[in-house]
Amino acid sequence: MTHGYTTGTGMNPEPAGTYGTPYTVPQQRTTEPAPEPAPAPAPKKPGRDRYLDLLRSIALVRVVVYHLFGWAWLTVLFPSMGVMFALAGSLMARSLKRPAAGVIRSRVRRLLPPLWVFSAVVLAMMFANGWNPSEDPDHGGTWGLIELFNYIVPIGAPPYPWQIGSKSGLLEDTWAVQAAGVLWYLRAYLWFVLASPLLLWLFRKAPWPTLLAPLGLTAIVGTGLVTIPGETGNAVSDFAVYGGCWVLGFAHHDGLLKQIPRYVSVSCASLIMAFGLWWASNHLGPDGWDLNDIPLAQATWSFGFVVILLQYSPSWQELPGRLAKWDKLVTLSNNRAVTIYLWHNLLIMATVPIIDLAYELPFMQSDRAVAALDGAYTIWMFALVWPLIGLMVLAVGWVEDIAAKRKPRLWPNGAKTDRPRASTGSHRG
């Protein structure tokens, strides 16, 4: 918008002078100085939404704590996977302002190199322990070899032995299940990325049917009404359970949630969550209230929970108040989210042989000392897994930078390592 300013000029006729000249004397054109326009407010710098970054960090911590302690109630307290899919959906909608093919290539490129590093280590450990996928009775000979492709591109479920090694080994004999089991998330994420151009088009054509359709699909495939066998069924179920959260990310980006009165959206979300808890109470799984075992409860509880989180989204550019002291950790965890997620389960198991070394210490040779360590064993695992995650971030986290076509960084926590230079020009940070 341009602002036009008009200036006044005066030409005052002078009466004939004493010299009898019949002409008026022209006066010098004068221009009154235009008032200085008020400075426009500085435009809001584009950047990451720190509220969403904080949610992602909380979700990652909750995932690690859940896999360590196994507390079923954590799936109710904070449904991490639903939150993570919603945040990814919001970012995907923002990216799809560009051509879809390029966006998909970028997302897939960011995902695969960290997966390849993880797969190389895990497969090497499996093969070193004598696993042969072509002879594994659970993976059908040659088909088991073909399924290894899922360690390269996670379009399906990767094969792994249910038991490998021995219980007296460095890692328990189910370590492969725990290590490779997290890859279901990458599979679901990849399918959501591939489907996003169509999903976003459908959402903008018919928002409410697209938003609620995954819940309806979950009611069909997640309750046993229709059974799809094998990993295909698991993939469809995952897509349905978390599809609503992914599309909620679209709704958040497009501002649909802000168009609904807050009391209406929160009330409806609360009713959906209440239904989820009611359904869970009547369909408790082997681990009780663990919503991971109850697809419809997981879908509805996560959906309502995410609606409330995004409805109150404050769009912070900086973490406010006391949260500011966590800024570096939030930045680090967001820059290394894939690394943390991929490796955390294997690192949890790696704490066991390390802590077991304590039993060999001279001052641990009493029943009282052994009992004290036994009682606090899980606490020690919790304390030890974070330094191990930090070491893994240093060791392989930089692969995420290469995948994103950035300069590799060892510890990207947002701290400024260079002193600002005196300059009259602008400093690009």
Output the CA angle 139-63-113, nearest 5 degrees.
60
Mean pLDDT of the chain: 88
Helix (H, G, I), strand (E, B) or coil at 43: coil
Q: For 346-367, what is the mean pLDDT?
A: 94
pLDDT in tens, 45-72: 556 899 999 999 999 999 999 999 999 9
| 205 vs 62: CA distance, rounded Å | 35
The more confidently predicted of residues 134 and 369 is 369
pLDDT value for 135 = 85
pLDDT value for 36 = 54
pLDDT value for 151 = 97
Q: For 167-188, what is the mean pLDDT?
A: 91
- The answer on pLDDT for 365 being more than 80 is yes
pLDDT value for 170 = 83
CA distances to 97, 113, 164, 214 from 170, rounded to whole Å, are 49, 28, 12, 42
pLDDT value for 45 = 52
pLDDT band at 1 (very low <50, low <70, confident <90, very high): very low
CA distances to 247, 309, 331 from 263, rounded to whole Å, are 21, 13, 32
Lookup result for tokens 């038991």: 163
pLDDT band at 167 (very low <50, low <70, confident <90, very high): confident
| 116 vs 113: CA distance, rounded Å | 5
pTM, full prediction: 0.85
Q: Which amino acid is at 89?
A: G
- The answer on pLDDT for 140 being more than 80 is no
| 54 vs 218: CA distance, rounded Å | 29
Residue 288, strand partner residues: 285
pLDDT band at 301 (very low <50, low <70, confident <90, very high): very high
The more confidently predicted of residues 180 and 30 is 180
Torsion, Cα of 39, 41, 47, 53 (10° steps): 150
